[in-house]
Amino acid sequence: MGARRERQGTGEFVARELERAGCTVCALVGTRPETVEAARADLARRHGIEAQGYLDLPSLLAAEAPDVVAICSPPETHLELLELALAAGCHVYCEKPLVFDAAGDDAELIRRAEAAIERARATGRLLGVNTQWPFTLAAFDALYPGGRAAPQTLRMWLTPDSGGARMVVDSASHVLSLAYALVGPGELRGIAWTPHAEGPEGGALSFGYRHAAGELAVRLELRRGATTPRPAGYAIDGQAVEREVELPDYRIRFVRPDGARSDPADPLVAAVGDFVQGIRTHRPTDVEALKLGVGPYFQLVHATHREVSYG
């Protein structure tokens, strides 16, 4: 789903990494015949992937009977596609956030999303979300050995290309996935949104993340940015790493304030590879991690929506 790159789309690159991990990308879905053909041509020319094209997921599922569906379309489309793929018995790799629809009924979205998560668990299907930041922690560890043994604070800064509340829609999954990777399941407390002086162009989201061993103080700083590569990084207990991206190859490294560097595996490569390995080893769906990206995710979005509108 969504194999043609528009805005910050990842479909083309997820397809490439699925192939590299040993899958065969047999088909893709687009919304119009011309976009389907453009996506097929791009995959063939850039990555040697020969995929059939369809205009809707039910047609693809009926004709191809795939084992895995990757959902890389806009967030508003995720839930229906997720339900269709799970009903067909597929494993699912979904772009973040798992679900969102500014015009929808949040309570109903949460109910259906949690039901889909439980269905994946009950049927032995692996459901994963494309949150890549946890796969950068090896780079952090190389720069700060032992530096996250008992974390108390997490600060993250991102530069989305969206404005207003949409910044949090596009970014909240990242900080939640990193908090989960650091301390495990948790609940959100004391959520506060502080806009920057420029208003909808940026702000900071702060909250407590209460977990089994205590509480992690979390701060997500957002500032709209139109150019790439966009500044991003995080600090655990004040130990900071900044992401650097070398274009055009999109080579990623992490840098300490003193200039020390670590070159991790590409987080997308690691994330997709981990998902495929999970299928091969029959790893169960991580229900707690996925549900953190539903109810608590909406808590963060709502906290921002009270202050600014969707961009």
pLDDT by residue (tens digit) across 138-185?
999 999 999 999 999 999 999 998 877 788 999 999 999 999 999 999
Q: What is the mean pLDDT of residues 191-213?
A: 88
pLDDT above 50 (res 6): no
pLDDT above 90 (res 311): no
pLDDT above 90 (res 227): no
pLDDT above 80 (res 117): yes
| Angle at CA of residue 292, ends 68 and 81, nearest 5° | 30
pLDDT classification of 304: cutoffs 50, 70, 90: confident
pLDDT above 90 (res 228): no
Task: Return the pLDDT at 4.
Answer: 45
The full set of domains in the chain, from first to last, is: 11-130 (3.40.50.720), 133-267+286-305 (3.30.360)
Q: What is the mean pLDDT of residues 19-27?
A: 98
Task: Return the pLDDT at 48.
Answer: 97
Task: Return the pLDDT at 5.
Answer: 41
Q: What is the mean pLDDT of residues 252-258?
A: 97
- DSSP class of residue 4? S
Distance CA 130, CA 157 (A): 19
From the list 59, 111, 58, 109, the residue with the least C-alpha distance to 87 is 58
231 torsion bin: left (phi>0), alpha (psi -120 to 50), beta (else)? beta
- DSSP code per residue over 90-107: -EEEEESSS---TTS-HH
